[in-house]
Amino acid sequence: MREKFRQIAPLQVFSDAQLEEIHLASLEVLRRTGVKVAFPEAVDLLQGAGCWVDGERVRIPPHLVEWAIGVAPKRVVLSDRNGNPAVYLEGYKSYYGTGSDCIFVIDPYSGERREALIKDVADFAKLVDALPNMDFVMGMSVAHDVPEAVADIHQFYAMVSNTVKPIVYATWGPQNLRTIVEMCEAIAGGAETFHRNPFAVLFGCSISPLLYPSDSTESMLYTAEKGLPYILAPTASAGGTGPMTLAGAMVQLNAEMLAGLLMAQLKREGAPFIMFAGCPTPLDMRTTIASYASPEFLLFQAGLTQLQHYQGLPTFGTAGCSDSKLFDQQASMEGSLSMLVSSLSGANLVHDVGYVEYGSTSCFEQVVVMDELADEIRFILEGIEVSKETLALEVIDQVGPGGEYVTSDHTYRHFRDGWLPTLGDRHTHEDWVQQGSKTLGDRASEKVRKILESHTPKPLPEAAKAKIEALIASAEQKANT
């Protein structure tokens, strides 16, 4: 993966004055309207800190939110499964990965849209493990062929067994979360080692508007207590569970996230916390579909990313997804635009690469094409080097008017500096026909199948594997009693 990152986001949606206005409006929502918190321990933490509590309704003084922003880490480092630093969530660095919890998958061999299986979760992890520009893994699909009560545990096992890259995961509740954390600690060699070098991050949700349910809030506080990173993802839809206006929806979402940030910091000051700039989707009132590819969606997440940079907190973005029902021209167009917008706005941990059908279906071909696009975008964002060597005054003088550069040493030194596609085609028409007249979709499908059939991820250590399987068996037994 390319390691050069810009120090400033080229895409700016708001002025500093507008960012301040949105931030202050969010504080006013928390002060005036507040949030409903259904987990008693969280209510006690907030009340003890000076919040105004009326049953489960909690109103938050602005100074507490400002304190939480001030003590939360400004950077979060994720390791790979081997404990090596892999992802630095700071500044305007963008890292890409797949998404979570699609109901359907497009079969990479038959092209059929079908219910997802545990093998699909494993195959997406294997695919990402092999792709050079995908930086982290999510489950992509909800497996329908494992016990529902512990499907999240089986899905995590399928992921961690098929990649060494960082993992973002979801759970069904606090009990399963504890099992997954124990699995991670077994792999890392202990709780302290996993705490120092986390390779797995919980992705949790509040419920828009302004509601913190018991289970997800308990899970959030558990990760804070352990000092593990946590991603909070309110998923308001503008016009559905949030205001129709983009500015109003942004205020509500930001208020929801700031309330969660405060609870985490009250539980453990300095708990790593990643803010969501992902999918505040506007409802299409003709279909009631929450679009993953509308210009409002892109503008919203770019603005929310800018707001979170203004607040100085790591961000969780969305890209590489489409409303199309399969991998086609629409999927490529919409996925490419969202990848570019996320990179230009400087979102840090960018998920949902490979989603089609507005987050209902996962698509292998979309992932491999967006992987190539990620490399191309990073090449563009590296900019143009200006130096004595690249200004090329000597070679221009040597070649002179009417000359040629093909045979110059300068060309030989630099002809490999450019970017070359592996899926995109630059052959002549004649050569393209001779090679089978393959479309981008054809080449993407071939690449998917080649990886699934030939790539062998690094296996888990046998001792860790045995511990994990015992934990899964115990979880299944508890679920059945």
- Which stretch of 114-123, 186-195, 288-297, 417-426 has the lowest confidence by average pLDDT? 288-297
Run of H or E including 290? strand 289-290
User: What pLDDT is recorded for position 289?
Assistant: 79
- Do the domain assignments include residue 141? yes
Residues 161, 114, single domain; the answer is: yes
Say yes or no to pLDDT of 118 above 70.
yes
Residues 224, 90, single domain; the answer is: yes
- Do the domain assignments include residue 2? no
- Do the domain assignments include residue 19? no
**3-state secondary structure at position 153:** helix
Residues 398, 277, single domain; the answer is: no
Say yes or no to pLDDT of 284 above 90.
no
- Do the domain assignments include residue 304? yes
Contact at 8 Å (CB) between 349 and 276?
Answer: no
Q: What is the DSSP letter of 186?
A: H
- Do the domain assignments include residue 256? yes
Single residue among 363, 381, 399 that ends a domain in this structure: 381
CATH number at residue 152: 3.20.20.480
Residues 333, 228, single domain; the answer is: yes
User: What pLDDT is recorded for position 3?
Assistant: 59
Residues 184, 326, single domain; the answer is: yes
Tell me the Cα Rg of the chain. 24
Contact at 8 Å (CB) between 287 and 240?
Answer: no
Give the mean pLDDT of 412-418: 94
User: What pLDDT is recorded for position 8?
Assistant: 67
Confidence of residue 287 (pLDDT cuts 50, 70, 90): confident
Say yes or no to pLDDT of 166 above 80.
yes
Confidence of residue 237 (pLDDT cuts 50, 70, 90): confident
**Residue 85, strand partner residues:** 79
Residue 115 structure tokens? 């219910």
Give the mean pLDDT of 6-27: 89
Residues 202, 271, single domain; the answer is: yes
- Do the domain assignments include residue 467? no
User: What pLDDT is recorded for position 61?
Assistant: 98
Residue 60 structure tokens? 């938050």
Say yes or no to pLDDT of 291 above 90.
no
Burial class (CB in 10 A: 0-12, 13-18, 19+), 215: middle
427-477 pLDDT, tens digit each: 999 999 999 999 999 999 999 999 999 999 999 999 999 999 999 999 999
Residues 329, 402, single domain; the answer is: no
Residue 178: domain span: 68-381
Contact at 8 Å (CB) between 307 and 23?
Answer: yes
Say yes or no to pLDDT of 288 above 80.
no
Contact at 8 Å (CB) between 102 and 362?
Answer: yes
- Do the domain assignments include residue 29? no
Detail the DSSP E strand segments found in 172-268: 200-204, 211-212, 230-232
**H runs (alpha helix) in 50-150:** 62-71, 118-130
Residues 299, 412, single domain; the answer is: no
Single residue among 358, 381, 404 that ends a domain in this structure: 381
Residues 414, 292, single domain; the answer is: no
Give the mean pLDDT of 163-174: 97
| C-alpha torsion sign, points 124, 291, 252, 92 | positive
Which residues have CB under 8 Å from 478's CB, separation 6+? 175
User: What pLDDT is recorded for position 445?
Assistant: 98
How would DSSP label each residue in 321-386?
--SSSSSSHHHHHHHHHHHHHHHHHT-SEEE-TTEETTTTEEEHHHHHHHHHHHHHHHHHHT----
Greatest Cα-to-Cα distance within the chain, rounded to the nearest angstrom: 85
pTM: 0.95
**Which phi and psi angles does 8 have, rounded to 5°?**
-145, 145
Residues 252, 329, single domain; the answer is: yes
Give the mean pLDDT of 281-302: 84
Share above pLDDT 90 across residues of the chain, in percent, rounded to a whole number: 88
Q: How far apart are CA 294 and CA 334, in angstroms?
A: 8
Helix, strand, coil: what percent of the chain each, to 5? 45, 15, 40
**Pairing assessment for the beta strands 200-204 and 167-169 based on DSSP bridges:** parallel
65-87 pLDDT, tens digit each: 999 999 999 999 999 999 999 99
Q: How far apart are CA 417 and CA 426, in angstroms?
A: 17
Number of domains making up the chain: 2
Q: How far apart are CA 77 and CA 79, in angstroms?
A: 7
337-392 pLDDT, tens digit each: 999 999 999 999 999 999 999 899 999 999 999 999 999 999 998 889 999 999 99
User: What pLDDT is recorded for position 259?
Assistant: 98
* Residue, of 283 and 367, whose pLDDT is higher: 367
User: What pLDDT is recorded for position 280?
Assistant: 60
Single residue among 368, 400, 418 that ends a domain in this structure: 418
Q: How far apart are CA 459 and CA 473, in angstroms?
A: 20
Residues 277, 398, single domain; the answer is: no
308-335 pLDDT, tens digit each: 999 999 999 999 999 999 999 999 999 9
Residues 370, 397, single domain; the answer is: no
Say yes or no to pLDDT of 7 above 70.
no
- Do the domain assignments include residue 126? yes
Share above pLDDT 70 across residues of the chain, in percent, rounded to a whole number: 98
